[in-house]
A and B are shown apart, each in its own frame.
Chain A
Amino acid sequence: MNPPLPPLSDDFFDPRPGVRLLLSGAAAAARGAWEAGVGFALTYPGSPVVETYEALAAPDGPAAARCRVAVNEHVAWHEAFGYALAGGRSLVVMKHVGFHVANDPAHYSAVLGVRGGMVAVVGDDPGATCSTGEFDVRFHALHAHLPVVEPSDVEEARALARAAFELSESEALPVLLVMPSGLCHGVGTAAAGPVDAPRAGLAFRASPDYTSVGGRAVRLRERLFRKIDLLARGERPLPFPVATFLPGDGPDLIVAPSVQLPTVAEWLVRRGLSGRVPVWSPKLTYPLPVAEFARVLAATGARRILCVEPLEGFLEHQIGVWLARRGGPAPELHGKDLVPAAGELSSVRVGAALARFLGLPEEPPSPESGAAPREGTFCPGCSHRAFFHMLRGALRPGDVIGGDIGCSSLPPHHSDWLTCMNSGASIAAGVARAVASATADAAQGSGRAQRVVSLIGDSTLLHGGLQTVLECAQTGSDQLLFVLDNGWTAMTGHQPTPATPDGRDGRTPGAPAVDLRGLLAALGVRDLHELDPFRLRGGRAMIRRLLERAPGFACVIVRRECRLQSTRRARSEPPPPWRERFMIVPERCRACGECYAVLTCPAIDADADGIARIDPLSCSGCGICRDACPNGAIVRLRERSRFAPADPAEPPPPSAAGQAAAGDGPPHPAMAAAPDPFSLILTGLGGQGVLTAGRLLRHALAARKLAGWDNRGGAQRFGHVAAIIRATAEPGAPLSLDIPPGAADALLALEASEALRFLDRAGPRTLVLLDRFVLVPTNVRRARGSHPSADEVAARFRARGAAVALDDFRARAAALSGDARDASLLMIGRLAALTGMPDEAGIERAATARERRVIAAGRAAAGGGWASPV
């Protein structure tokens, strides 16, 4: 019997040492920084490390005053560097491509060194799940000579973040804490450590070494090389264990940094190789701790090495250089010849590489999921959807659109390129110059051969676009730039921008908001306009007119606040007496697809004949579809709420639910024995409450050791979202973040076709609960392609031996509580009734009284005869 685990806490700032904090990897790094007494934390928001900043900067938290969303990563790094130069501890948070922006100051901060501790938490993104590229940020360290620390789980993310400050101060170097998206979005528990107070009385002390020029620049670099060399040779004490070593006796050594450690360890356990194949997982991955590695080589006598790393062979490269420099007989070195360098490194791909390296039979190939990729899309009511519909109607074939980073890059956006921040207008300036000369060559008169349009979001404009606007205004670049101003850095979770109106921020009271129009005018934009994207026809006419303007630079501010934010604010206010709904009159619909396949509003569905209908559970009531419908088929109904029934139907009280649950009989055969580890997948679409329900389930299962991860790429934006939850009663057992093939015990899908992405994780032991709701992805709609129905999805899982319950959970939830998002709670209730997981005590601990009522209704369902697995 294992001793009970310490209590679980939800409070990120909990001061009690030893309590278990349920955190994402990204938030765990923030907790480490909080414990280290960080005095100044900066970020430019970017997934997957948004939560590192958000957790620390919680508006009502004690650290809010120490946090700042900087205008870009370059500025953020400089500010953090300055704070550390003055002896304080600073944290700077950015994604991998953000580090590209901060590269210049990063190099100089390494050369100059720091007095206080400076840690940069940088999120890598293998598979580009939430980015436009999947560059391996660690390779920058080879050039900038910044130490790199890589944690392998949530607890290590906390501990190493804290220790990284000590390393930074002992070596007088900024330290990079690099975490892949799998770990950032991984969820587990971390043991809270004592919290240090931030340093007071900081003072800047001048030094000639802070001026890197001429001969001193060379000497500073020599000093930097000496620091790195001492670290590599293990001659400097590290404030954390340099590596984790899992002993073994074989001639083969596996090097598995970061999150590959638990994945490799669990694979070895499953294949019966635990304790036979040694695994070395360095925490310091730059510089390579060569002294430690030499000891491991000598101890294991390894003749073959496999480096299992996500993205490129960072350690493989360093080990190869070191082996060559060492001379003498060297072991065989494998890495990127067996482990894919591109794409996410799933447990399946790791297992395949390990099997090949060890000469074992490979696991059977995963079944084809048959699920079309699902990118996020504009939310219902999004101003970008309206704008792009307007723009599409104004453009003609051959016109050029330069795209940029942000919400506006989601489908169904239209752009001819999309790369990094500020790629829209900058690249367009070159294109405009080229096509202008082509027009002149072709002597086509006053009309342009190709008209150039570019896009930029408000946050991106302030991040790095201002210089481009200046350049375009100065040179009269013949392009029409749209500044898509929704008032927020919406893509990464609605951080305020310098232009976010006062009073909507909650963090910078009194700070003046930037007037974008005045700013652009000051940069020299003369042809400057504003546009409300919800005025579809007038806006389109305006764009058409501007496309035929005299050659030169013109700019349109497309202004309407992000719908999610305005809706959230509205929720806190009393509901208006009249509410609006939109409906499609089927007899008027001509199945033209304008709303379904062109506008691609997620709230609009179409039947087999193409006749569209609006899903009232998803519709935001923006009415853009009504303006876009060429057949006048979409009509509006204003309804007085006062005359609606006073109270939605109350769910049955828990006692009655308990009695009904007792009638369920024995657990389903698929779940006859309570499995350990218990592996559960909760999936659905952004905005359906997947992550909220995932958090509840983790709390309900918190009596056990937890692992897993969240896929948040499409959170809130109708993209794919999943919570992978793993729980074991054996605290010492290896538990990877991902679920091995066929090993899922339960799969709950709030949108049926999303379940297909986890088809390979399902097997005879799996219980599948599917909502009948299917939302055809934007890309499939635009291609007029087919998409599996809920029944087809259920059949595919049944073919793998899984038990499947298919029901209309959303509609039941809406009827029950008025909120379709409660479908996840109904499913949890069904899961508990059928499997006993999570147990009553767990639900009692994790859920609010309201949530418990809905869960109880789900438990009672078996008595009501719905959602029974077949």
Chain B
Amino acid sequence: MIVTSFDDGIDLADRIPAGATVGLIGCAGCASACGTGDTKRLEAVAAALPPDRRILFSVSAEIPCDGRALRLFARSIDRFEEAEFLIVLACEAGARSAGDLAWRRPGGPATVVAPLRTTGFVWRRADGRDLPACLFCTECVVPDRATACPVAGCPVHRRDGPCQERADDRCIVDAASACAWLEHAPAAETAAPGPAGGEREPGFHPLRLPALVAPTPPDAAGCEALAAFLPALSGGTLFLEETGGLPILHIAHLFNGSRSRHGVALGIALHARDKNAVALSADLAAAAALGASAAFLVEFAEVRAGVAPALTTVELARLARRHLGPAAAIVVANRFDHPADRALLLAQRAAGATHAVATGPPPRAPLPAGMALLVRRDAACPADLTAGDLLHRLGPRRGA
């Protein structure tokens, strides 16, 4: 439905001169549900008009936004032709339909006064909550429109799938409601494109383990602590993640020598909190020049506060593949808990992801062909580097 609010700033008595004849047209649909065009509101508007404005009729019409219906109503409304002013309590579309009709009226044009503001396009759930009905992105993830759009329903409008850092089926932004993606996402089979680039064997993109995702240190002391930890990662991969500290590429450059010395591969932990595709492409290109051979697509903490990512994980995977080359390992996180999780994984794989790390219980079903599973181990890292749950230590799948 279309959401409208009453604009108290419009002074009807000021717009409509004394002695004028007035007709009131409300909307029995959306505006009625919003309480802005229903019969009660019409009564209130009629009562608020000074008595020297003569009200000829007051109607609450269904779909006044359809000019054809409005024209039919107008024919059956007694004294429609006599009204000099039409107060239209409907959305922008309804007001424009009425304006069109008023302009072409055989009895001469009437002036339309529309005191409602159109503020949104929502679906009203059974529990009375309003969620955006459509973002007009034109890239429908529910091609048959058979269900509510999960993109519109998600508070951060994720376009790829459910958040993989969630603890359960509830939204990580608004714990009071269920995850829109889990409620409404299409089945994995219908949503995911087929495997891109043919079947690939696990290990084709060697990820050197163990691996650590480390936030970029905020200062020189942090840099020293991280450098001191490199021996412990010997033979593994250090994923650097930019979290507001020193620039990621600067750190990578600083560590290049000691990293090579300890045989630690460079990886880049990517997210799209405050960088768009152009900025991220620059980071990835620079990282590739520094010898980065892996990328880890991570969630950023502000998502929980409702900050929307600029790019999806699928788009990130595609970007990383393009810049890091065909041999790079691209790691994604997955909760392996819901068909929507699998749909996301399939899409990520198609975009270039090679490894998945379980953020919850290990998966019950086998991974998609061409992907390897990583499990999260206990993090053991310098205390002054700790960034809570963003710090991971990855190892090979147990028994693999």
Contact = CB atoms under 8 A, between A and B. Distances in A.
A504 to B, nearest CB: 29
Nearest to B39: A578
A640 B39 contact: yes
Interface in B53-110: 55-63, 66, 68-69, 72-73, 76-79
Given A638-B28, A640-B42, 20 more contacts: A578-B60, A586-B68, A588-B66, A588-B68, A588-B69, A636-B28, A636-B61, A637-B28, A637-B60, A637-B61, A637-B62, A637-B73, A638-B39, A638-B60, A639-B77, A640-B57, A640-B58, A643-B57, A644-B78, A645-B78
22 contacts: A581-B76, A583-B72, A585-B66, A585-B68, A585-B69, A585-B72, A588-B69, A635-B61, A635-B69, A635-B72, A636-B62, A637-B61, A637-B62, A637-B73, A637-B76, A638-B59, A640-B59, A642-B58, A643-B55, A643-B56, A643-B58, A644-B78
Nearest to A636: B62
A253 to B, nearest CB: 67
Contacts of A578: 39, 60
A647 interface: no
Interface residues of B, number: 25
A587 interface: yes
Interface string B24-61: 10101000000000010011001000000001111111
Contacts of A588: 66, 68-69
A635 B39 CA distance: 16
A637 B68 CA distance: 14
Interface string A78-114: 0000000000000000000000000000000000000
Nearest to A626: B62
A616 interface: yes
A541 to B, nearest CB: 15
B128 to A, nearest CB: 19
A644 B76 CA distance: 12
A585 to B, nearest CB: 5
Contacts of B72: 583, 585-586, 635
Contacts of B63: 635
A583 B28 contact: no
Nearest to A581: B76
Contacts of A585: 66, 68-69, 72
A627 to B, nearest CB: 13
Interface of B: 24, 26, 28, 39, 42-43, 46, 55-63, 66, 68-69, 72-73, 76-79
Contacts of B59: 637-640
Contacts, number: 62
B58 to A, nearest CB: 4
Nearest to B32: A638
Contacts of A645: 78-79
Nearest to A634: B62
A645 B57 CA distance: 10
A636 B59 CA distance: 10
A634 to B, nearest CB: 9
B309 to A, nearest CB: 38
A643 B69 CA distance: 22
A587 B67 CA distance: 10
Interface in A712-750: none
Contacts of A616: 76
Q: Which of A616, A640, A644 has the most CB of B within 10 A?
A: A640
Contacts of A586: 68, 72
A436 B60 CA distance: 53
Interface in A570-621: 578, 581, 583, 585-588, 616
Contacts of A639: 57-59, 77
A581 B76 CA distance: 10
Nearest 10 A/B pairs, CB to CB: A640-B58, A638-B60, A635-B62, A587-B68, A636-B62, A585-B69, A635-B69, A643-B57, A639-B59, A637-B61
A576 to B, nearest CB: 11
A863 B73 CA distance: 34
A606 to B, nearest CB: 16
A665 to B, nearest CB: 37
Contacts of B43: 640
Contacts of A643: 55-58
Contacts of B77: 637, 639
Nearest to A616: B76
Nearest to B68: A587
A639 B57 CA distance: 8
A539 to B, nearest CB: 19
A588 B78 CA distance: 23
Contacts of A644: 57, 78
B73 A583 contact: yes
Nearest to B78: A644
A706 B266 CA distance: 113
A374 B43 CA distance: 45
A583 B58 CA distance: 17
Contacts of B58: 639-640, 642-643
B56 to A, nearest CB: 6
B69 to A, nearest CB: 5
Nearest to B54: A643
Contacts of B39: 578, 638, 640
Contacts of B66: 585, 588
A625 to B, nearest CB: 13
Interface string A644-675: 11000000000000000000000000000000
Nearest to A641: B58
A583 B63 CA distance: 12
A802 B396 CA distance: 103
Contacts of B68: 585-588
A392 to B, nearest CB: 25
A818 to B, nearest CB: 12
B287 to A, nearest CB: 56
Nearest to A635: B62
A147 to B, nearest CB: 62
A640 B22 CA distance: 14
Contacts of A636: 28, 61-62
Contacts of B46: 640
Nearest to B56: A643
Nearest to B63: A635
Contacts of B60: 578, 637-638
A587 B69 CA distance: 9
Highest count of chain A CB atoms <10 Å: which of B55, B58, B66, B79: B58
A645 B56 CA distance: 9
Interface in A817-869: none
B84 to A, nearest CB: 15
Contacts of B73: 583, 635, 637
Nearest to A582: B62
Contacts of B26: 638
Nearest to B38: A638
Nearest to A640: B58
A363 to B, nearest CB: 51
B55 A583 contact: no
Contacts of B76: 581, 583, 616, 637
A637 B63 CA distance: 10
Nearest to B59: A639
A525 B42 CA distance: 49
A182 B180 CA distance: 70
A23 B28 CA distance: 50
A174 to B, nearest CB: 60
Nearest to A632: B63
A637 to B, nearest CB: 5
Contacts of A635: 61-63, 69, 72-73
A645 B78 CA distance: 8
A101 to B, nearest CB: 49
A847 B276 CA distance: 87
Contacts of B78: 644-645
A579 B79 CA distance: 17
B212 to A, nearest CB: 55
A645 B60 CA distance: 18
Nearest to B42: A640
